[in-house]
Every structure is written in structure tokens, then in C-alpha cells.
Structure 1
């Protein structure tokens, strides 16, 4: 029997639930499988949950991360955040996950304690996202920019305009160009992206930014989402003209300003990246590294061999 109704009830009581763990978010992005959640109680009270995404491939069943989803739990109510509760409830949550051939899950950055997963035979690697703290204001943020970012930002501000009128279908086309330029297929369909966008728009959790020149040519586009904790630089894309105009830098700055001035949030999250050339740009904005855990476990040697061959 599905725990979705219980999870939806739990989420209504959870303070500052990450957007990636919202039931409506998972409803939209879990294509090709189904999502559910493990639930733990302290007496009669629901105190923690761990959503997951179950897929099938041939004879294999496995848990993996849905598209567009940066991390998935586990979530404990704040009054149960002590280490003794983490050990107890993380273990119970992990033991409730369905019997599958493999599990891959990215944990929320707040989850520093992956020891209960280790005790259950999981492996782990540390990944990084990058945060900019906005609590001291935008002037302080700009002080953290390096010379190249400042110079390119000034140039872009003089030559480009920023708009919020770009539609999701147009955004997808710009986003796709970045993948085409690298010679790789975009990993999500337009239909899936539009379903994702519709859910975010319906809950007033996204803003699309677009940079154009004086002739109306689109140089770059960016897609910002948010929850009660932070905004997330979720997706972006550059047209060929935008590669040299500084449009991408301008849109990052506009998204930071929007986060501070309109949303009033204390953190701007770049959502990664682990790629060297992208990580270097994050650092040039003065962002700080924030670690999070990727945990995994194989229960089938055959699935492990096939999965690892695919990931090479």
C-alpha cells in the first residue's frame, strides 16, 4: 500500500520543506516510474520521511533520482534532529525502502550523518553544490566577485536587457541549444519539462529570465526556482551569440538580485556543479562549497555490472 497520503500529510506539517521533496514536485517529474515514501513515527506522531523514486528496467527494479531533482531527504522534524534520533530514524527509513536490485539517492546537504546508511551496506561519495549567502546584502555579494566577473557583468549591463516574458517552450529551446553545442542529447523531453514547469508555475515557485540585445536577439535564458530556504539556479541555456556577450553572468546576477529583493531569501544555490569548467565559474562569483552525500547500494551483481558499464 502506498504511503503517499501519509507523506502528503507529513509535508503539510514540515517547516521549510525543500522544493524537491514537495509531493506536487514529485508528481510532475517522476516519469517512467512511481514515487512513494518511507515514514517513521515516534509513538503515534509522524516524525520523519524519505521519498524515493522506483523504476523498472527489464527484470530489474531500482531506486534512482528523478529528473530535475537535486536531492531527496531524509527529512526529520526539527525537534528530532539530535544524533541519537538521526541514527534511529535514518536506519528505520532506510530499512523501509522497497526490496530492489539497486539504490542511488542524493541526500539533502543538511544530512551530514550518513553513518546509518554505511551500517546498512551503502557506499557514499561526497558531491558539492555552491551557495552565495545574501544575508549581508548585495554590495557584500559583489565584493566576492572576481575581476573577470565584474568586468563581464559591466559589459553585459551596457549592451543587454533582461526580461521576464520568455515562455517555457522558448526556454526549453534555448536550454536545448547548450546540450546540442556539446554534442549530447538533452536528458529530458519537452513534454516532461513543460509538466515540471506547469507544477512550479501553479505553486508560484519559478521565474524565467532572458537576456536580449538591442535587436531583440536572445543571448541567454535562466530558470530560477525556490522554496522557503533558498533559491536554486535550476536550468540555463545560451544561444550562440550569448557565449561571448556575458549574458549568462548577467542572468546569474539578476537571479541573485531577484532572490534578495523580491523573494527575501538568505541563500542563492547554484545547484552544483562537479564539472571543472563550471565549478570554476561558481567560485569566481564568490560562492562557497556545500557538500552533500550520494549514497548507493547494489543488491544484484548483474545489475551492478550493467549499471557501471552504462555510467562509464
Structure 2
């Protein structure tokens, strides 16, 4: 059996068309075009007679004379993904070859898909690792069970009370949607790290491929209290972005909206999981726990060379 590694974006686009919904959304070519720009991502393909059995997506950036690998905005996972089911031993062999085939960059930062359990090939090649966590509802088919798992405070003091005065709707006007997502950063007097043009481009691409939609909560006067953007693929719905209007933060609209999104993902989209995609702050962890979500670990892999080697040891 012949085996080889190639960098071939055209071949990958054909693979994406053939796989359709079977490929996680963050690895699809149209997603990468939207968040990276068509010329700023590349992909490594691992072939076995002559099928593609594994992929490795890469987003590279330049700063002066240096090229480094980073994560594009709004993208949870990049790097390796096994197309075919293999044993852990076979996956490790394939991953070792793909890591060895990576171009030599001055810096490297990637978060790996949950599928990557074994990061030893990176360790052997001099990379460093941190464990990170997202929060997931692993079985949203059982909505009664999900409801019972939500904290009493959220069920009674947030969701039930808010549902008496507020209503959920779809497809909020894009500029207003983005302004609500920016509200938490404005409260902290910081700049939102995602450009509005990137969000608009991604929202348009998701709508075109029927993989994303905005949801919002408003009162009887038409005032928007909270909004979120939901992504989905064949298996999982993802809470990509969310925010609350400053003057309505205590209305419970944000909690009610999240519950509505979970129900939509279960009953309309027929997804199996709901991934909050959140960071690891203590406040965020507490909020996700209120919904009964459980932590799910993934690898953050990094490596910086030359005069930048110290970044690998301090970057989190």
C-alpha cells in the first residue's frame, strides 16, 4: 500500500464536497475561506492508495520577515483530523508523519480537535502542550433530562420568569447583532478582538451553507435583550457568540435564549451534542455548570523557535 503526504487545496476542496456534513464545520473549505481568507490557509493530506485518510489544516500569518501558525478568528479547532477510523496506534503513526512534514515556522499555536487524544508526536518533535476545556451537553436528545440538570435558580428565577415577558426570534439584523456581541467588551473597556467584516463574511457563508443562524430575545416593546449565533454540523450544535444588551442584563433573557437554542438544536436540527465553546474563566465555568454542561478537554499545542523560544513556556 502506497502512502504519501501532499499539500493540495484543490484536492481538499473536492474532498469537502464529497464529505459534506460528515466533516466538522471548522475544517470545511468554505469556513476556512471565510475566517482566514482564501490565500492564507493551507492543508496537508495524508493519502493511502489513493484515498485521503487524514488531513491537517494550517493558518499561517506573517509579521515582518517571520511566518507563524495561529488560530483564525471564531475557529475552535484546526490541525489534524482523521477521516478514517483507525486504532490509536495507527493514528499515532499517521500523526507522527504529518508533524514531521509540517513546514518550519518561527512560531506555532493551535488548538486540536477533541479527536486528538495522544499528543506524543508533537512532544517528540519539541512542541509544548496545555490542556484546555470546553463545556458540552453530551446528549441533548433527552430534553427532559437536560431541563432537570439545569440549576434551580436558572429554571425558576431566569428561564420561567423571562419566558413570561420575552419571546425568542430568528435572524437579527447583522449590525445590531454585532453590536450586542461587542457589548461585553465595551463593559470591560476593551476592543472586541474580532473584526465586524470577518463576522459578516462568516455569517453570510454559514447562511449559504445552512450551518448557522442568529437567535435573539426581545420584549413586547421590541427591545432586544440578548442575542447569540448558533453553528451546527451533523453531530453538534455550537454556541459561537453571545451577548446581552447592557440595560437588560438582569432580565434573564440571555439564559432563556440559551435554553431556546438548546431546544432548537435538539428538536429542529436533531444534533446529538451542544458545545458551549467557552473559555476557561471561573465565571464562564460557573455559568456553563448552571446548564448542566460537563467539561471536555482538548490540546493546545505550541512551539516557538530562535529568539522567541520563551513564548512556548509562558503562553497560555
TM-score range, shorter chain: over 0.9
CA contact (8 A) 2:304 2:310 kept: no
CA contact (8 A) 1:126 1:294 kept: yes
The match for 1:36 among 39, 42, 66 is: 42
Aligned residues: 309
CA contact (8 A) 1:31 1:192 kept: no
Aligned to 2:61: 55
3-state DSSP class of the match of 2:90? helix
Aligned to 1:110: 115
Aligned to 1:139: 144
3-state DSSP class of the match of 1:241? helix
Aligned to 2:3: none
Aligned to 1:71: 77
Deviations 1:37-87 (A, max 9, x none): 1111223222111101010001211001000100014111233x2122211
Instruction: Give me the CA root mean square deviation.
Output: 2.0
Deviations 1:204-246 (A, max 9, x none): 1111111111211111101001111100000011111231011
C-alpha change, 1:165 and 1:298, in structure 2 (3 Å) is closer
C-alpha change, 1:103 and 1:227, in structure 2 (3 Å) is same
Deviations 1:145-197 (A, max 9, x none): 11111121111111211111312222111111121111110111111111111
CA contact (8 A) 1:131 1:267 kept: yes
Q: Measure, in 2, the Cα distance between the counterparts of 1:308 and 1:60.
A: 20
Aligned to 2:94: 89
Q: Measure, in 1, the Cα distance between the counterparts of 2:313 and 2:124.
A: 23
| Residue pairs, 1:144-183, within 5 angstroms | 144-151=149-156, 152-183=158-189
Once structures 1 and 2 are overlaid, which stretch shifts more, 222-231 or 7-16?
7-16
Q: Give the TM-score taking structure 1 as reference length.
A: 0.93
Deviations 1:61-114 (A, max 9, x none): 1001000100014111233x2122211111121122221101111000121111
Q: Give the TM-score taking structure 2 as reference length.
A: 0.92
2:143 counterpart of 1:125: no
CA contact (8 A) 1:33 1:54 kept: no
Q: Measure, in 2, the Cα distance between the counterparts of 1:85 and 1:101.
A: 29
What displacement does 1:260 show?
0.6
List gaps (5 residues or longer) in structure 1: none
What displacement does 1:307 show?
8.5
Deviations 1:239-268 (A, max 9, x none): 112310111101110100110111011101
Deviations 1:113-150 (A, max 9, x none): 11111111111111111111335421110010111111
CA contact (8 A) 1:37 1:50 kept: yes
CA contact (8 A) 1:133 1:141 kept: no
Deviations 1:14-51 (A, max 9, x none): 47211011000000101597100111122322211110
What displacement does 1:3 show?
1.8
2:12 counterpart of 1:7: yes
Q: Measure, in 1, the Cα distance between the counterparts of 2:111 and 2:238.
A: 16
Aligned to 1:280: 286
Q: Measure, in 2, the Cα distance between the counterparts of 1:32 and 1:308.
A: 32
